[in-house]
Amino acid sequence: MENFFKLKDNGTNVRTEIIAGLTTFFAMAYIIMVNPDMLELSGMPWGAVFLATIMASIVGTLVMGLFANVPYAQAPGMGLNAFFVFTVVFGLGFTWQEALAMVFVCGVVNILITVTRIRKLIIKSIPESLQNAIGGGIGIFIAYIGIKNAGLLSFTSDPGTYVQLGEGGTVIASSSAVPALVALNSPAVLLALFGLALTVALLVLNVKGSIFIGIIVTTLLGIPLGVTQIGSTMSFSQAVSELGVTFGAAFGNPGLLSLFSDASKIPLVLMTIFAFSLSDTFDTIGTFIGTGRKTGIFTAEDQKALESGSGFKSKMDKALFADATATSIGAIFGTSNTTTYVESAAGIGAGGRTGLTSVVVAVLFAISAFFAPVVSAVPSAATAPALIIVGVMMLSAFKEVKWDNFAEAVPAFFAGVFMALCYSISYGIAAGFIFYCLVKIIKGETKEIHPILAVSTILFILNFIIMAII
């Protein structure tokens, strides 16, 4: 194990990696229950998506751990699953089988741009100031996820400024929605605040495994408060019986066989695949840049090997390939885009540095197939403090940005802040790219814009136009 994962070389040990894996898993375990709930709205059977979510997570995370030897976990992405249901199926009228086919094609596209070095060229093209801003921005994003999951925020929207998708469905409010601090009188909120204070205290005292200990203690304390409750789900055998409905459905009719049968819809299909791929690609790049540089998971030598080497010589190369393959694998089982989870930062914050962390996460996903009610019992009030703390840790990346240089500060600000405000890593990167190019054009320094960054910016703008049209 030492030789395979090179634990000593990465300044870690088996105990730390196991704790890191447990921390990452519990920070992202919500997807096991949430993803089936989301995709079920499109007509997919809950049990099948439940197993597809777990299987895609296991395969993608194992490839990340065993092939790339990095502590990142993969699972179907939030945001991308909402796009799958509400935009592709409800909005554009495609069947869920055709939507799965698009996800599969998106994965193939991601594999191609990874093998052909396009992804690494994109990373190379991003200025160091923006890379640091992305790292700090992901810190804000993770902390915001934690604050929201802790139930500390309420949102007020004016009458007539929101729409509801179907009876009892998702509510989409306009910018009139205003956040506010909730009344600190509910057991869940008070439990989250206790967990936050406990985790801070443990970290200040340099207690090993502080973040994981905080999760466990807060979960146990939630039992008498009625916050920690054993969930209910269908049996494993029932889920297995439904898996045949979604497994391979992406290749049937409806599915890949019907996706390109109507010539008039081909432009719309291609635009949708493009939207899937762009978001997936930059979510992953942002996560790797934001968490890998500061922690040393991707060293300067590794970065150099990425930029100058061929094949899969660097850990970043291997990690990008692992991420690219996961989306197509997930589509085969029957779920929306599988992506590298930003919640992996929780395990990294707990000391995870190698693929052993990912292997632990994959094993826990496998176990969860049989013990979903137990896994789902860990409340968000227990995992939210971990995300807030990790977000705080990542903000140090902002210190590398020259904030007194307005031309550098503007794109860095938008790259960092938009991630949280738009709840999307890729949108934050898009804002940073757009303002970086705008500043350079205004200053007459267009030659300093890397061609790849310029093309990426144009693609982002094109994506926004497409989304406005469809």
Per the rule left: phi > 0, alpha: psi between -120 and 50, beta: everything else, 234 is beta
pLDDT of residue 206: 87
pTM across the whole model: 0.80
pLDDT of residue 296: 76
pLDDT of residue 165: 67
Q: Kindly list the distances between the CA atom of residue 296 and the CA atoms of 128, 316, 322, 382, in Å, as whole numbers in the listed order.
A: 16, 12, 19, 28
pLDDT of residue 221: 96
pLDDT of residue 256: 94
Q: In angstroms, how far is CA 125 from the centroid of its own chain?
A: 22
Closest Cα to residue 416, out of 405, 427, 404, 402? 427
Q: For residue 466, what are its two tokens?
A: 């497409």
Task: Measure the CA–CA gap between 271 and 98, rounded to whole angstroms.
Answer: 14
Q: Cβ–Cβ contacts within 10 Å for residue 185, how many?
A: 7
> Which residues touch 95 (CB under 8 Å, ≥6 apart)?
43, 89, 254, 255, 258
Q: Kindly list the distances between the CA atom of residue 422 and the CA atoms of 145, 169, 214, 276, in Å, as whole numbers in the listed order.
A: 12, 21, 29, 17
Handedness of CA 457, 458, 461, 463 (dihedral sign): negative
Name all contacts of 25-28 with Cβ < 8 Å and 24+ positions apart: 25/73, 25/347, 25/360, 25/361, 25/364, 25/365, 26/212, 26/215, 26/378, 26/382, 26/383, 26/386, 27/215, 27/343, 27/346, 27/347, 27/383, 27/386, 27/387, 28/73, 28/75, 28/341, 28/343, 28/344
Closest Cα to residue 357, out of 368, 344, 370, 369? 344
Task: Measure the CA–CA gap between 12 and 5, rounded to whole angstroms.
Answer: 10
pLDDT of residue 408: 95
> Which residues touch 383 (CB under 8 Å, ≥6 apart)?
26, 27, 29, 30, 146, 149, 215, 346
pLDDT of residue 141: 87
> pLDDT tens digits, the chain, 470 residues: what are they?
888 999 998 899 999 999 999 999 999 988 998 899 889 989 999 999 999 999 999 999 999 999 999 999 999 988 788 889 988 998 889 999 999 999 999 999 999 988 887 877 888 888 989 988 988 888 898 899 889 989 999 988 887 778 776 666 667 888 888 899 999 999 999 999 999 999 999 999 988 888 989 999 999 999 999 999 876 667 788 899 999 999 999 999 999 999 998 888 888 898 889 888 888 888 888 888 888 766 778 876 776 766 666 667 778 888 988 998 999 999 999 999 999 998 898 899 899 999 999 999 999 999 999 887 777 788 889 999 998 998 898 888 898 899 999 999 999 999 988 888 888 888 889 999 999 999 999 999 999 999 999 999 999 999 888 878 76
The model's pLDDT over 36-80, given as tens digits with 9 standing for 90+, comes to 988 998 999 999 999 999 999 999 999 999 999 999 999 998 878
Q: Is 73 helix (H, G, I), strand (E, B) or coil?
A: coil
